[in-house]
């Protein structure tokens, strides 16, 4: 399998607004995404995949 590098999808502004209204202090999921999106990028995993073959799911 090969890894096609894909950027992390942006969260729609309305979703961000509602999430912050529902969780003013943030939630575990919100904090994890904020931390891990900077720590782990597809490029970090690229050497673990073959250059040929069907595309694999991103590990993120």
Contacts of 36-39 with C-beta under 8 Å, sequence gap 24+, read 36/60, 37/8
Model pLDDT, residue 11 = 86
Q: Which residue has the tokens 């995993």?
A: 45
Extents of the domains making up the chain: 1-60
- Helices (H) then strands (E): counts for the chain: 3, 0
pLDDT in tens, the chain (60 residues): 566 666 677 889 999 999 999 999 999 988 888 887 777 777 777 777 777 777 666 655
């Amino acid at each position: 399998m090969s890894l096609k590098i894909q950027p992390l999808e942006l969260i729609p502004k309305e979703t961000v607004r509602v999430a912050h209204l529902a969780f003013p202090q943030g939630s575990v999921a919100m904090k994890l995404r904020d931390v891990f999106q900077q720590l782990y990028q597809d490029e970090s995993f690229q050497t673990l995949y073959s250059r040929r073959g069907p595309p694999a799911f991103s590990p993120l």
